Every structure is written in structure tokens, then in C-alpha cells.
């Protein structure tokens, strides 16, 4: 089985590899840079989910032989006057009918944690969480390592493992289809 991920970010590709490997150990996972179709910093649940869906569909369309396309998108959302990090995963299976426009999809979201006010203010001025974290920590490519969640949790949590959980949740529809049939 071949799976194409709509990103070359090693955290995202590694998370998909780990999640799919739990069900299909011999699956081939490849990353591909695609356009998410949303802003660099998605500012709502809806925008974040659209980005994940777009990444999955564009990657699957571009690959032509992959069985599944996967999109992962991180964003922020405001709940009760607080800003939270959030993430969405979309898994799309290639339709059996080659004429069909889109295959069945599984969606899942999560990774919620409150962001500090000094970061929220910068995001509200148009900043993106990844570069803000790089600047504030003095590290390079925080989002391709443990992510903001890794920094804030002092390494007890990390972005890859959070994404693994979200991808596994998006796979539920495919590994337990009996629960989704009429």
C-alpha cells in the first residue's frame, strides 16, 4: 500500500508512517509538498480542517498511484476568549472507480492547548506560530521537531505523537467500516 502525505515536514510524514504502520506495517509513506489552500496560520477550526482536506486530496491527485492521501494541518482557534493550538487530519482513500472525483475520507481533530498571551498577540498581528516559536526560543524549525507543545510541556509531549493520535483517529472509518455502514 502506498500513502502520500501532503507535506514534506518530517514530523508529519513520521506521524503518518507510525500511524499507518500500526495497521499496515509494509505500507510505503512518501511526503509531497502541496498547497494547503488556507493561510500560513489557519485561524479557526474550519480553516484548519479545510487545509488538512486540501492537502490530502491534492497529494492523492498528484501521486496517481497512492492508495491513500493524508493531510495534516495545524492551526489556532479561539474558545471563550482564549486562543488554542489545534490540528486536523484528513485521510482520503483513492476511489475504486477511477472516474469518481474523490474517495471516502476520514477526519479527526485534536491537539488543543492554550497559547500564552505574548504569542497570541503576535498571531493576532498576522504572525505564524512556527516562526514565532523559532524567534522566541532561538531554535530553528521548532515545528519540524517537538513543536510548540514540546516546548511548553518541557518535552513531555511532542507534535509527532499528537499527530499520530489524530491520524489514527482519522483511520477509524477505514479500519472499522462496519460501524459506518447502513
Q: How much of the chain is in helix, strand and coil states, percent to nearest 5?
A: 45, 25, 35
- What is the spatial distance between Cα 67 and Cα 24, in angstroms, rounded to a whole number? 12
- What backbone phi and psi angles, to 5 degrees, belong to 97? -85, 115
- The CATH class given to the 2-115+157-179 domain equals alpha beta
Indicate if the pLDDT at residue 73 is higher than 80. Answer: yes
Quick one: cell of 109? Answer: 481533530
Q: Tell me the β-bridge partners of 5.
A: 31, 70
DSSP 93-116: EPPSSTT-S---EEEEEEEEEEPP
Mean pLDDT for the stretch of residues 53-70: 96
pLDDT computed for residue 96 by the predictor: 79
Using a pLDDT cut of 70, give the percent of the chain over it: 97
pLDDT computed for residue 101 by the predictor: 52
Quick check: 69 and 59 in contact, CB under 8 A?
A: yes
- What is the spatial distance between Cα 21 and Cα 26, in angstroms, rounded to a whole number? 7
Amino acid at each position: 500500500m502506498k500513502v502520500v502525505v501532503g507535506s514534506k515536514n518530517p514530523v508529519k510524514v513520521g506521524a503518518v508512517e507510525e500511524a499507518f504502520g500500526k495497521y499496515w506495517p509494509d505500507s510505503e509513506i512518501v511526503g509531497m509538498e502541496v498547497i494547503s489552500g488556507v493561510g500560513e496560520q489557519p485561524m479557526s477550526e474550519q480553516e484548519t480542517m479545510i487545509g488538512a482536506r486540501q492537502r490530502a486530496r491534492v497529494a492523492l491527485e498528484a501521486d496517481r498511484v497512492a492508495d491513500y492521501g493524508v493531510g495534516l494541518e495545524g492551526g489556532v482557534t479561539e474558545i471563550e476568549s482564549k486562543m488554542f493550538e489545534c490540528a486536523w487530519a484528513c485521510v482520503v482513500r483513492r476511489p475504486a472507480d477511477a472516474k469518481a472525483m474523490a474517495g471516502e475520507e476520514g477526519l479527526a481533530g485534536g491537539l488543543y492547548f492554550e497559547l500564552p498571551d505574548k504569542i497570541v498577540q503576535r498571531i493576532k498581528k498576522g504572525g505564524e506560530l512556527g516562526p514565532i516559536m523559532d524567534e522566541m526560543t532561538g531554535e530553528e524549525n521548532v515545528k519540524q521537531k517537538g513543536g510548540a507543545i514540546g516546548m511548553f510541556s518541557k518535552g513531555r509531549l511532542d507534535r509527532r505523537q499528537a499527530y499520530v493520535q489524530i491520524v489514527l483517529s482519522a483511520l477509524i472509518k477505514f479500519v472499522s467500516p462496519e460501524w459506518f455502514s447502513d
